[in-house]
């Protein structure tokens, strides 16, 4: 079995204690992190390697930043999403891990937020999604297990928000955003959590403001998207909701999947 998890940690250095606790408790074989908010050299590699993980980082000072932690060796590491050589934001890292009988390709994704939607930030978000669709199309041609994991900043459906009416004008829930997310899935990809759990009320993010956590006013924006070769091996998914209740938590919680690999 291979356990792959994703987590927007909202600063790896501030929450290294939460991170190491999660690694010890959930024991993911691969963990994709987003919003590490530090350059490569400042990432807490030592704490993570001490627990038996290999580390690949694509960092950026103060903002963004992604990483992949793996119990298995990381090979063929790619930093940055292809399609725009001028894009300096650290939002994508991809690597291959070897498993019995083959390989699994894993990407950690921090898709742009896009707000306010009447600015160039939303234009950048949509263009980034187009680049992701194009890259995913190419990866699917490899016909190997693929996991595109991360904070997509997309609320796919109304049932993925406790109060969807509050999000109608937000870049995370605009029709064009959701349409591009569907276009990604329509390449032949599977959204892991919805393949296992079709119920409403499953959230991965609760804002720090207005008592959102206490009121369970959450949204689901952290997703693991699988190629057919990975989807065929999907056994289960889990949202590790309890981490939002820790002291000084991230506003996101990890989501993990188990694959029969």
User: Could you list the mean pLDDT of each consecutive 10-residue stretch along the chain, which spans 261 residues?
Assistant: 98 97 98 98 97 98 97 97 96 96 95 98 98 98 98 98 97 98 98 95 95 96 98 98 96 98 89
Q: Looking at the whole model, is its pTM more than 0.75? A: yes
Which among 110, 122, 152, 203 is annotated as catalytic?
110
The whole-number pLDDT of residue 101 equals: 80
Gap between the Cα atoms of 57 and 42, Å rounded: 10
| Domain count for the chain | 1
* pLDDT of amino acid 255: 98
The β-bridge relationship of strands 146-151 and 102-110 is: parallel
CB atoms under 10 Å from CB of 156, counted, come to 21
pLDDT value of position 113 = 98
**Each residue's pLDDT tens digit, 195-217:** 999 999 999 999 999 899 999 99
Query: Is 217 flagged in the annotation as binding?
Result: no
User: Is 8 annotated as contributing to ligand binding?
Assistant: yes
- Is residue 197 among the annotated active site residues? no
Task: Give the integer Cα–Cα distance in Å for 53 and 110.
Answer: 21
Nearest C-alpha neighbor of 110 from the set 194, 257, 222, 244: 222
Residue from 29, 151, 170, 222 carrying the catalytic annotation: 151
Distance CA 90, CA 57 (A): 10
Between CA 65 and CA 137, with CA 234 as vertex, the angle to 5 degrees is 55
Q: Which domain holds residue 26?
A: 2-259
- In tens, the pLDDT along 158-171 reads 999 999 999 999 99
d(CA 94, CA 76): 8
Return the CATH number at 39.
3.60.10.10
Closest by Cα among 106, 133, 110 to 221: 110
CA distance 166 to 20: 35
Q: Is 151 a catalytic residue?
A: yes
Tokens 């990975």 — which residue? 230
247 is in an annotated binding site: no
Q: What is the pLDDT of residue 122?
A: 98
**Crossing angle of helices 120-140/175-185, nearest 10°?**
10
> Exactly one of 18, 135, 223, 252 is catalytic; which is it?
252
Residue 134 has phi, psi (to 5 degrees) of: -65, -40
CA distance 138 to 40: 28
- Per-residue model confidence (pLDDT) at position 27: 98
């Amino acid at each position: 079995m291979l356990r792959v998890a994703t987590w927007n940690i909202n600063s790896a250095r501030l929450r290294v204690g939460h991170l190491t606790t999660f690694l010890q408790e959930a024991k993911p074989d691969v963990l994709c992190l987003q919003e590490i908010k530090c350059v490569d050299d400042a990432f807490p590699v030592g704490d993570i390697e001490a627990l038996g993980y290999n580390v690949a980082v694509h960092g950026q000072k103060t903002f963004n930043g992604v990483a992949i932690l793996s119990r298995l060796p990381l090979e063929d590491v790619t930093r940055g999403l292809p399609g725009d050589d001028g894009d300096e934001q650290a939002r994508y890292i991809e690597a291959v891990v070897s498993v019995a009988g083959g390989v699994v390709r894993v990407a950690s994704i921090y898709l742009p937020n896009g707000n306010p939607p009447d600015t160039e930030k939303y234009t950048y978000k949509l263009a980034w999604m187009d680049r992701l669709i194009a890259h995913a199309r190419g990866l699917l041609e490899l016909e190997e297990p693929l996991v595109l994991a991360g904070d997509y900043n997309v609320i796919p459906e109304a049932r993925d928000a406790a109060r969807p009416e509050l999000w109608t004008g937000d870049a995370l829930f605009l029709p064009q955003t959701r349409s591009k997310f569907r276009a990604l899935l329509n390449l032949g990809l599977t959204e892991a959590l919805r393949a296992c759990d079709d119920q409403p009320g499953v959230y991965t993010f609760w804002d720090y403001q207005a008592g959102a956590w206490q009121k369970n006013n959450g949204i689901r924006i952290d997703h693991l998207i699988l190629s057919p070769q990975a989807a065929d091996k999907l056994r289960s998914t889990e949202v590790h909701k309890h981490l939002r209740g820790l002291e000084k938590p991230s506003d996101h919680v990890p989501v993990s999947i188990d694959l029969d690999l």
